[in-house]
Structure 1
Amino acid sequence: MRHVTLVQLFDHPITQKYVKRSGMAHAVACAYHAYHLAIEHGVDPDRATKAAFLHDIGHYTWYRDGKWDYNLYKENDIHAIKGSERAHKLLIRLGEHPRTAKEIALAILLHTDSYLPNGYLELNPLQHVVALADEADEEPGGEHHYRTISDRRARRMLSLLDKKIESQSKEDYIERSM
């Protein structure tokens, strides 16, 4: 059972402030990528789409002399850490099941290794899907964060995705009960 929908997340002022800052078009695109990847990899599409939609909610804007500084961002950013905490708090406030909120927050935390020292992370399937969804929509130099989408279109697309997730959940339930 879904406790929180993508549209509920979209409508929340915290999402509007922080996801818009990091790129709403990118967030919506990642949610769609995550839906398809979740089906392909046998992962819960509800959790995958929420994590992909919120994965950049922790971004800070790195400017130098009034201009975006991509190198400053790459050297100093910890958006996955901040985003994980921010998304977890938001999901709990909206009534998400605590276990689900934690899984989503961990997927956000691990969607990138940009803040970690060189090394290798072993991701679980949900975390892997969210990382793949982000990579699928990336553009050189962080340009994917600057694409635009109207609120109306974003909300409509997320509503359609919510319906797909509901339909998929019903199909999965019927399949398990047979």
Structure 2
Amino acid sequence: MRRVMIMDVFNHPIAQKYLNRSGVLHAIRVAGYAVQLAIKHDVNPDIAAKAGLLHDIGHYEWYTNGEWDYEEYVKNDIHAIKGAERAHKLLIRLGEDRQYAKEIALAILLHTDSYLPENSMKKTSLQQIVRMADEMDEEPLGKHHYRKISREDAIKKIERLDQEIERLITEYRKTV
């Protein structure tokens, strides 16, 4: 079975639509942090990168009188629920392994506790990694969603991420 590349995910029109809404640079940085954490915690770096890249694709823009309303966003946020659904559907369309697609969707669903009682459930290593990777890139008042990156630079970063994951997968296969 051919691995669905991060570039395949990134270039899909659905991913582009929602990554542009939630912040392409933030998504790429979280994917990179997720790979680093996956290596440390013996988690599949490929699914960690995909969960990191797609973790915020459920974001909705909350505006009041034409202005971004952070307080309204925090009060009404369910982006992880919508994002998990969008990511799962997208990954299945791209031909991702069904079990991996499910694990990625659950990691996206649980990357924030904004809508859950605090510490209300035990999380898998992948779910914890996506949350930690997201927190590593956060800025106050959601400003991390508004950092800019050119399409060319984004493509270069995604290509490097895919190459790193391929290298890690190849190394892992040699050990089993």
Q: Same fold (TM over 0.5)?
A: yes
Percent identity of paired positions between Structure 1 and Structure 2: 57
Q: Deviation per CA, 1:6-41, whole angstroms, max 9, x where unpaired?
A: 101111000110011000000000011001000011
Looking at structure 1, the residues matched to 118 and 103 of structure 2 have their Cα atoms a distance apart, in angstroms, of: 24
Looking at structure 2, the residues matched to 4 and 84 of structure 1 have their Cα atoms a distance apart, in angstroms, of: 18
Looking at structure 1, the residues matched to 23 and 15 of structure 2 have their Cα atoms a distance apart, in angstroms, of: 11
Looking at structure 1, the residues matched to 65 and 119 of structure 2 have their Cα atoms a distance apart, in angstroms, of: 33
What does residue 99 of structure 1 align with?
99
Deviation at 1:151, TM superposition (A): 1.0
Looking at structure 2, the residues matched to 137 and 155 of structure 1 have their Cα atoms a distance apart, in angstroms, of: 19
Q: Deviation per CA, 1:117-144, whole angstroms, max 9, x where unpaired?
A: 3443311000011100000000001000
1:32–1:49 Cα contact (<8 Å) kept: yes
RMSD (Å) for aligned C-alpha atoms: 1.0
Output aligned runs, 1:125-140, within 5 Å. Answer: 125-140=125-140
What residue ranges of structure 2 are gaps of 5+ in the alignment? none
What does residue 114 of structure 1 align with?
114
Deviation at 1:65, TM superposition (A): 0.6
TM-score, normalised by the number of residues in structure 1? 0.96
1:80 aligned to 2:71? no
1:59 aligned to 2:59? yes
What does residue 123 of structure 1 align with?
123
1:41 aligned to 2:41? yes
1:160 aligned to 2:160? yes
Query: For 2:149, what is the secondary structure of its paired residue?
Result: coil
* Letter matched to residue 37 of structure 1: L
TM-score, normalised by the number of residues in structure 2? 0.97
Looking at structure 2, the residues matched to 53 and 118 of structure 1 have their Cα atoms a distance apart, in angstroms, of: 24
Looking at structure 1, the residues matched to 25 and 122 of structure 2 have their Cα atoms a distance apart, in angstroms, of: 29
What does residue 29 of structure 1 align with?
29
Looking at structure 1, the residues matched to 119 and 62 of structure 2 have their Cα atoms a distance apart, in angstroms, of: 25
Query: For 1:42, what is the secondary structure of its paired residue?
Result: coil
What does residue 11 of structure 2 align with?
11
Looking at structure 1, the residues matched to 97 and 166 of structure 2 have their Cα atoms a distance apart, in angstroms, of: 17
1:2–1:46 Cα contact (<8 Å) kept: no
